[in-house]
Amino acid sequence: MERILDVKNLKVSYHTYAGEVQSVRGVDFYLNKGETLAVVGESGCGKSVTAKSIMRLIQTPGEIKQDSEILFDGKDLAKLSEKELREIRGSEISMIFQDPMTSLNPTMTIGKQIAESLIIHRGMSKHEALAEAAKMLKLVNIPNAEKRVKQYPHEFSGGMRQRAMIAIALACNPKILIADEPTTALDVTIQAQIMDLIGDLQNKLGTAVILITHDLGVVADSAHRIQVMYAGKIIERGTTDEIFYNPQHPYTWALLQSVPRLDTGHKDSLYSIKGTPPDLLKPPVGCPFASRCEYAMPICKEAMPEITKMTENHEVSCWLKHPLAPKVEKSLAGGAK
Ligand code: SF4
Protein backbone atom coordinates (compact mmCIF):
# COMPACT_ATOMS: atom_id res chain seq x y z
CA MET A 1 0.00 0.00 0.00
CA GLU A 2 1.21 3.46 -0.88
CA ARG A 3 1.75 5.79 2.08
CA ILE A 4 0.60 9.35 1.57
CA LEU A 5 1.15 10.76 5.04
CA ASP A 6 3.81 10.03 7.61
CA VAL A 7 3.63 11.84 10.93
CA LYS A 8 6.73 11.48 13.09
CA ASN A 9 7.27 12.54 16.68
CA LEU A 10 4.46 15.11 16.57
CA LYS A 11 4.47 17.25 19.68
CA VAL A 12 2.05 20.13 20.25
CA SER A 13 1.99 22.37 23.31
CA TYR A 14 -0.19 25.26 24.46
CA HIS A 15 1.52 28.01 26.40
CA THR A 16 -0.82 29.16 29.16
CA TYR A 17 -0.40 31.36 32.25
CA ALA A 18 -0.22 28.17 34.31
CA GLY A 19 2.60 26.76 32.13
CA GLU A 20 3.08 24.53 29.07
CA VAL A 21 0.19 22.14 28.41
CA GLN A 22 1.61 19.20 26.41
CA SER A 23 -1.48 18.29 24.39
CA VAL A 24 0.23 15.92 21.93
CA ARG A 25 3.32 14.12 23.23
CA GLY A 26 5.36 12.48 20.50
CA VAL A 27 2.84 10.82 18.21
CA ASP A 28 3.86 8.69 15.18
CA PHE A 29 1.43 7.40 12.56
CA TYR A 30 0.91 6.97 8.83
CA LEU A 31 -1.95 6.98 6.36
CA ASN A 32 -2.18 4.83 3.24
CA LYS A 33 -3.73 5.94 -0.03
CA GLY A 34 -7.51 5.48 -0.04
CA GLU A 35 -7.82 4.07 3.50
CA THR A 36 -9.78 5.28 6.52
CA LEU A 37 -7.85 5.72 9.73
CA ALA A 38 -9.93 6.41 12.84
CA VAL A 39 -8.41 8.32 15.75
CA VAL A 40 -10.45 7.63 18.86
CA GLY A 41 -10.37 8.92 22.43
CA GLU A 42 -12.12 11.05 25.03
CA SER A 43 -12.34 14.79 24.74
CA GLY A 44 -8.96 16.40 25.51
CA CYS A 45 -6.89 13.33 24.52
CA GLY A 46 -5.18 15.25 21.69
CA LYS A 47 -7.00 13.74 18.70
CA SER A 48 -8.41 17.02 17.33
CA VAL A 49 -5.13 18.83 17.99
CA THR A 50 -3.37 16.08 16.01
CA ALA A 51 -5.83 16.55 13.13
CA LYS A 52 -5.46 20.33 13.14
CA SER A 53 -1.67 19.99 13.19
CA ILE A 54 -1.73 18.16 9.85
CA MET A 55 -3.40 21.22 8.32
CA ARG A 56 -1.15 23.49 10.43
CA LEU A 57 -4.25 25.07 11.97
CA ILE A 58 -2.75 25.34 15.46
CA GLN A 59 -3.04 28.94 16.57
CA THR A 60 -1.22 30.91 19.27
CA PRO A 61 -0.80 30.08 22.15
CA GLY A 62 -0.44 26.65 20.57
CA GLU A 63 2.83 25.52 18.97
CA ILE A 64 3.95 22.51 16.93
CA LYS A 65 7.32 21.64 18.47
CA GLN A 66 10.38 21.90 16.28
CA ASP A 67 11.38 18.26 15.87
CA SER A 68 7.88 17.22 14.69
CA GLU A 69 7.58 15.97 11.09
CA ILE A 70 4.41 15.85 8.95
CA LEU A 71 5.52 14.31 5.65
CA PHE A 72 3.09 14.62 2.74
CA ASP A 73 3.93 14.29 -0.93
CA GLY A 74 7.65 14.74 -0.36
CA LYS A 75 7.19 17.85 1.79
CA ASP A 76 7.35 18.39 5.53
CA LEU A 77 4.15 20.35 6.25
CA ALA A 78 5.53 21.32 9.65
CA LYS A 79 8.19 23.42 7.89
CA LEU A 80 6.22 25.02 5.01
CA SER A 81 5.46 28.73 4.78
CA GLU A 82 1.89 29.97 5.21
CA LYS A 83 1.74 30.70 1.45
CA GLU A 84 2.81 27.14 0.55
CA LEU A 85 0.28 25.74 3.02
CA ARG A 86 -2.59 27.72 1.48
CA GLU A 87 -1.95 25.86 -1.79
CA ILE A 88 -2.33 22.53 -0.01
CA ARG A 89 -5.28 23.31 2.29
CA GLY A 90 -8.60 22.66 0.58
CA SER A 91 -6.85 21.39 -2.51
CA GLU A 92 -4.67 18.42 -1.42
CA ILE A 93 -5.89 18.07 2.18
CA SER A 94 -9.35 19.15 3.35
CA MET A 95 -11.11 19.14 6.67
CA ILE A 96 -14.70 18.99 7.87
CA PHE A 97 -15.75 19.89 11.38
CA GLN A 98 -18.42 18.89 13.87
CA ASP A 99 -20.58 21.96 13.49
CA PRO A 100 -20.99 23.11 9.87
CA MET A 101 -22.74 26.30 11.02
CA THR A 102 -19.47 27.61 12.46
CA SER A 103 -17.49 26.67 9.33
CA LEU A 104 -19.94 27.81 6.65
CA ASN A 105 -20.13 31.50 5.79
CA PRO A 106 -23.72 32.59 6.59
CA THR A 107 -23.55 35.52 4.16
CA MET A 108 -22.55 33.51 1.07
CA THR A 109 -24.62 31.06 -0.96
CA ILE A 110 -23.64 27.40 -0.68
CA GLY A 111 -22.81 27.38 -4.40
CA LYS A 112 -20.33 30.25 -4.06
CA GLN A 113 -18.69 28.56 -1.07
CA ILE A 114 -18.11 25.39 -3.09
CA ALA A 115 -17.04 27.38 -6.16
CA GLU A 116 -14.49 29.46 -4.22
CA SER A 117 -11.88 26.71 -3.88
CA LEU A 118 -12.41 25.58 -7.50
CA ILE A 119 -11.66 29.12 -8.70
CA ILE A 120 -8.59 29.46 -6.43
CA HIS A 121 -7.08 25.98 -6.75
CA ARG A 122 -8.33 24.72 -10.12
CA GLY A 123 -8.35 28.02 -12.03
CA MET A 124 -12.00 27.59 -13.13
CA SER A 125 -14.10 30.55 -14.29
CA LYS A 126 -16.96 31.63 -12.01
CA HIS A 127 -19.49 30.10 -14.40
CA GLU A 128 -17.66 26.74 -14.61
CA ALA A 129 -17.15 26.62 -10.84
CA LEU A 130 -20.85 27.23 -10.12
CA ALA A 131 -21.84 24.47 -12.55
CA GLU A 132 -19.34 22.16 -10.81
CA ALA A 133 -20.79 23.21 -7.42
CA ALA A 134 -24.23 21.97 -8.50
CA LYS A 135 -22.63 18.66 -9.57
CA MET A 136 -20.94 18.37 -6.17
CA LEU A 137 -24.27 18.94 -4.37
CA LYS A 138 -25.80 16.15 -6.47
CA LEU A 139 -22.85 13.92 -5.58
CA VAL A 140 -23.55 14.39 -1.86
CA ASN A 141 -27.22 13.52 -2.49
CA ILE A 142 -28.77 16.95 -2.07
CA PRO A 143 -32.00 17.07 -4.11
CA ASN A 144 -32.77 20.05 -6.41
CA ALA A 145 -29.06 20.85 -6.54
CA GLU A 146 -29.49 23.62 -9.19
CA LYS A 147 -31.88 25.46 -6.85
CA ARG A 148 -29.94 24.65 -3.69
CA VAL A 149 -26.64 26.15 -4.93
CA LYS A 150 -28.30 29.56 -4.80
CA GLN A 151 -29.44 29.15 -1.18
CA TYR A 152 -27.75 30.21 2.06
CA PRO A 153 -26.66 27.89 4.92
CA HIS A 154 -29.66 28.84 7.11
CA GLU A 155 -31.97 27.44 4.41
CA PHE A 156 -30.39 23.97 4.82
CA SER A 157 -31.17 21.40 7.57
CA GLY A 158 -28.33 20.22 9.88
CA GLY A 159 -27.76 17.05 7.84
CA MET A 160 -27.79 19.00 4.56
CA ARG A 161 -25.30 21.53 5.93
CA GLN A 162 -22.92 18.69 6.79
CA ARG A 163 -23.38 17.30 3.25
CA ALA A 164 -22.64 20.78 1.87
CA MET A 165 -19.46 20.90 4.00
CA ILE A 166 -18.43 17.55 2.53
CA ALA A 167 -19.09 18.94 -0.97
CA ILE A 168 -16.87 21.96 -0.23
CA ALA A 169 -14.14 19.74 1.24
CA LEU A 170 -14.15 17.33 -1.71
CA ALA A 171 -14.66 19.87 -4.52
CA CYS A 172 -10.98 19.85 -5.48
CA ASN A 173 -10.67 16.07 -5.09
CA PRO A 174 -8.14 16.17 -2.23
CA LYS A 175 -5.88 13.23 -1.43
CA ILE A 176 -6.78 13.40 2.27
CA LEU A 177 -10.05 14.31 4.00
CA ILE A 178 -9.85 14.93 7.74
CA ALA A 179 -13.26 14.58 9.38
CA ASP A 180 -13.30 15.88 12.97
CA GLU A 181 -16.36 14.46 14.77
CA PRO A 182 -18.37 14.91 11.56
CA THR A 183 -21.58 13.39 12.92
CA THR A 184 -21.60 14.36 16.60
CA ALA A 185 -24.09 17.21 16.18
CA LEU A 186 -26.51 15.09 14.13
CA ASP A 187 -29.22 12.63 15.10
CA VAL A 188 -28.51 8.91 14.78
CA THR A 189 -30.24 8.30 11.44
CA ILE A 190 -28.52 11.26 9.77
CA GLN A 191 -25.21 10.18 11.39
CA ALA A 192 -25.43 6.82 9.60
CA GLN A 193 -26.29 8.53 6.29
CA ILE A 194 -23.31 10.89 6.56
CA MET A 195 -20.93 8.03 7.39
CA ASP A 196 -22.27 6.04 4.41
CA LEU A 197 -21.86 9.09 2.21
CA ILE A 198 -18.23 9.59 3.26
CA GLY A 199 -17.57 5.89 2.54
CA ASP A 200 -19.25 6.04 -0.90
CA LEU A 201 -17.35 9.16 -1.93
CA GLN A 202 -14.10 7.67 -0.69
CA ASN A 203 -14.68 4.65 -2.94
CA LYS A 204 -15.58 6.85 -5.91
CA LEU A 205 -12.82 9.44 -5.51
CA GLY A 206 -10.06 7.37 -3.84
CA THR A 207 -9.66 9.88 -0.99
CA ALA A 208 -7.90 8.76 2.20
CA VAL A 209 -9.85 9.70 5.34
CA ILE A 210 -8.74 10.47 8.88
CA LEU A 211 -11.80 10.17 11.05
CA ILE A 212 -11.59 11.77 14.48
CA THR A 213 -14.20 10.65 17.00
CA HIS A 214 -14.86 9.99 20.68
CA ASP A 215 -17.26 7.19 19.72
CA LEU A 216 -15.81 3.80 18.74
CA GLY A 217 -19.31 2.77 17.60
CA VAL A 218 -19.18 5.28 14.74
CA VAL A 219 -16.04 3.76 13.21
CA ALA A 220 -16.87 0.04 13.40
CA ASP A 221 -18.17 -0.15 9.82
CA SER A 222 -16.09 2.58 8.23
CA ALA A 223 -12.46 2.44 9.42
CA HIS A 224 -9.71 0.15 8.13
CA ARG A 225 -7.43 0.91 11.08
CA ILE A 226 -8.02 2.49 14.48
CA GLN A 227 -5.63 4.27 16.79
CA VAL A 228 -6.65 5.02 20.34
CA MET A 229 -5.29 8.16 21.97
CA TYR A 230 -5.03 8.96 25.65
CA ALA A 231 -3.40 11.96 27.33
CA GLY A 232 -1.61 13.06 24.16
CA LYS A 233 -0.23 9.62 23.22
CA ILE A 234 -1.30 6.70 21.05
CA ILE A 235 -1.82 3.85 23.52
CA GLU A 236 -3.10 1.19 21.11
CA ARG A 237 -3.51 0.79 17.36
CA GLY A 238 -4.52 -1.97 15.01
CA THR A 239 -6.90 -2.99 12.27
CA THR A 240 -10.56 -2.42 13.09
CA ASP A 241 -11.02 -6.17 13.69
CA GLU A 242 -8.01 -6.28 16.03
CA ILE A 243 -9.30 -3.37 18.09
CA PHE A 244 -12.88 -4.66 18.27
CA TYR A 245 -12.21 -8.40 18.67
CA ASN A 246 -8.81 -8.52 20.36
CA PRO A 247 -8.25 -5.23 22.23
CA GLN A 248 -5.21 -5.27 24.49
CA HIS A 249 -5.21 -2.01 26.47
CA PRO A 250 -7.44 -1.51 29.54
CA TYR A 251 -8.48 1.93 28.21
CA THR A 252 -9.59 0.39 24.90
CA TRP A 253 -11.55 -2.23 26.90
CA ALA A 254 -13.29 0.59 28.77
CA LEU A 255 -14.04 2.51 25.55
CA LEU A 256 -15.55 -0.64 24.01
CA GLN A 257 -17.70 -1.18 27.08
CA SER A 258 -19.13 2.29 26.60
CA VAL A 259 -20.34 1.50 23.04
CA PRO A 260 -24.07 0.61 22.92
CA ARG A 261 -24.65 -2.93 21.55
CA LEU A 262 -27.75 -4.54 20.13
CA ASP A 263 -26.47 -8.12 20.25
CA THR A 264 -25.98 -8.71 23.99
CA GLY A 265 -29.67 -8.90 24.85
CA HIS A 266 -29.28 -7.39 28.33
CA LYS A 267 -30.24 -3.96 29.45
CA ASP A 268 -27.05 -2.98 31.26
CA SER A 269 -26.51 0.72 31.55
CA LEU A 270 -23.53 2.01 29.58
CA TYR A 271 -20.13 1.78 31.25
CA SER A 272 -18.49 5.07 32.05
CA ILE A 273 -14.79 5.33 32.86
CA LYS A 274 -14.25 6.55 36.41
CA GLY A 275 -11.79 9.34 37.19
CA THR A 276 -10.29 11.96 34.91
CA PRO A 277 -7.31 12.03 32.54
CA PRO A 278 -4.04 13.44 33.95
CA ASP A 279 -3.19 17.12 33.93
CA LEU A 280 -1.02 17.67 30.86
CA LEU A 281 0.67 20.64 32.51
CA LYS A 282 2.58 17.96 34.45
CA PRO A 283 2.19 14.69 32.55
CA PRO A 284 2.93 11.61 34.67
CA VAL A 285 6.25 9.83 34.18
CA GLY A 286 4.52 6.45 34.06
CA CYS A 287 1.44 5.20 32.24
CA PRO A 288 -1.00 8.12 31.92
CA PHE A 289 -3.97 5.78 32.51
CA ALA A 290 -2.58 4.43 35.81
CA SER A 291 -4.82 6.49 38.12
CA ARG A 292 -7.96 5.08 36.42
CA CYS A 293 -6.79 1.58 35.60
CA GLU A 294 -8.17 -1.44 37.52
CA TYR A 295 -5.06 -3.44 36.58
CA ALA A 296 -2.38 -0.91 37.57
CA MET A 297 0.81 -2.39 39.06
CA PRO A 298 3.59 -0.54 40.91
CA ILE A 299 5.66 -0.40 37.72
CA CYS A 300 2.85 1.47 35.89
CA LYS A 301 3.34 4.66 37.91
CA GLU A 302 7.13 4.51 37.67
CA ALA A 303 7.80 4.14 33.94
CA MET A 304 5.95 4.68 30.67
CA PRO A 305 5.39 1.33 28.93
CA GLU A 306 7.21 1.03 25.60
CA ILE A 307 5.21 -0.06 22.57
CA THR A 308 4.71 -3.84 22.34
CA LYS A 309 4.06 -5.25 18.87
CA MET A 310 1.27 -7.87 18.96
CA THR A 311 0.98 -8.40 15.16
CA GLU A 312 2.19 -6.56 12.07
CA ASN A 313 -0.41 -3.82 12.58
CA HIS A 314 -1.38 -4.23 16.22
CA GLU A 315 0.64 -2.34 18.83
CA VAL A 316 -0.09 -1.52 22.46
CA SER A 317 1.56 0.55 25.15
CA CYS A 318 0.76 -1.28 28.42
CA TRP A 319 2.94 -3.05 30.98
CA LEU A 320 0.45 -5.95 31.08
CA LYS A 321 1.61 -6.88 27.58
CA HIS A 322 5.26 -5.88 27.82
CA PRO A 323 7.71 -8.80 27.83
CA LEU A 324 10.21 -6.88 30.01
CA ALA A 325 7.67 -5.91 32.70
CA PRO A 326 8.90 -8.39 35.38
CA LYS A 327 12.56 -7.37 34.79
CA VAL A 328 11.80 -3.63 34.97
CA GLU A 329 9.62 -4.14 38.05
CA LYS A 330 12.44 -6.03 39.75
CA SER A 331 14.97 -3.30 38.97
CA LEU A 332 12.58 -0.60 40.23
CA ALA A 333 11.98 -2.56 43.43
CA GLY A 334 15.72 -3.11 43.83
CA GLY A 335 16.65 0.56 43.21
CA ALA A 336 20.22 0.90 41.90
CA LYS A 337 21.18 -2.66 42.88
FE1 SF4 B 1 -3.07 -0.16 33.34
FE2 SF4 B 1 -0.48 -0.41 33.83
FE3 SF4 B 1 -1.41 -1.02 31.44
FE4 SF4 B 1 -1.31 1.50 32.22
S5 SF4 B 1 0.44 0.16 31.88
S6 SF4 B 1 -2.99 0.52 31.23
S7 SF4 B 1 -1.79 1.32 34.39
S8 SF4 B 1 -1.88 -2.04 33.38
User: Distance between CA atoms of 315 and 232, rounded to whole angstroms?
Assistant: 16
Cα 59 to Cα 65: distance, rounded to the nearest angstrom: 13
* Ligand 1 pocket mutation, candidates 318, 328, 329, criterion most atoms within 8 A of CB: 318
* Atom number in ligand 1 closest to CA 299: 2
CA of 301 to the centre of ligand 1 (A): 9
Same structural domain, 259 and 204 = no
pLDDT of 97: 86
Residue of 133, 135, 141 whose CA lies nearest to 116? 133
165 plus 95 within the same structural domain: yes
Domain region containing 118 = 3-223
- Number of domains the chain contains: 2
> Assign residue 206 a region: left if phi > 0, alpha if psi is -120 to 50, beta otherwise?
left
**Together in a domain, 182 and 238:** no
User: How far from the centroid of its chain's Cα atoms is residue 215's Cα?
Assistant: 11
Residue 334: what pLDDT?
A: 61
**Same-domain check for residues 244 and 178:** no
- Residue 153 gets which letter from DSSP? G
Confidence band (pLDDT; 50, 70, 90) for 1?
A: confident
Would residue 334 count as lying in a domain?
A: no
Q: Report pLDDT digits (tens) over 26-55.
A: 999 999 999 999 999 999 999 999 999 999
Pick the atom of ligand 1 nearest to 287's CA. Answer: 4
Confidence of residue 279 (pLDDT cuts 50, 70, 90): very high
Same domain, yes or no, for 90 and 200? yes
**Within this chain, do residues 50 and 197 fall inside the same structural domain, yes or no?**
yes
Query: pLDDT tens-digit profile of 67-111?
Result: 999 999 989 999 999 999 999 999 999 999 888 778 899 999 999
| pLDDT at residue 268, rounded to an integer | 54
69 inside domain = yes
Q: Looking at ligand 1, which residue's alpha carbon is closest to its atom 5?
A: 318
Say if 333 falls within a structural domain. Answer: no
Residues 212 and 246 in one domain: no
Q: Residue 144 — pLDDT band, cuts 50, 70, 90?
A: very high
Chain-wide mean pLDDT for the chain?
A: 91
Residue 337: the pLDDT is 35
Amino acid in position 337: K
CA 138 from centroid of its chain's CA atoms: 27
What pLDDT score does 188 carry? Answer: 82
Q: State the amino acid at position 155 in one-letter form.
A: E
pLDDT in tens, 148-206: 999 999 999 988 999 999 999 999 999 999 999 988 878 888 888 889 999 999 998 99
Is 147 in the same domain as 256?
A: no
Q: Is residue 56 part of a domain?
A: yes
pLDDT score recorded for residue 320? 93
Indicate if 154 and 246 belong to the same structural domain.
no
pLDDT score, position 273: 83
Q: How far apart are CA 83 and CA 199, in angstroms?
A: 31
C-alpha 151 – ligand 1 centre gap (Å): 53
User: Quick one: pLDDT band at residue 215, thresholds 50, 70, 90?
Assistant: confident
Is residue 331 one of the residues assigned to a domain? Answer: no
Alpha-helical runs (H) found in the chain? 47-54, 82-88, 100-103, 110-122, 126-139, 145-148, 158-170, 188-205, 216-219, 240-245, 250-257, 298-302, 325-333
User: pTM (2 decimals)?
Assistant: 0.92
pLDDT of residue 287: 97
Q: Which residues contact 252 (CB under 8 A, 6 or more apart)?
A: 228, 235, 236, 243
**264, pLDDT greater than 60:** no
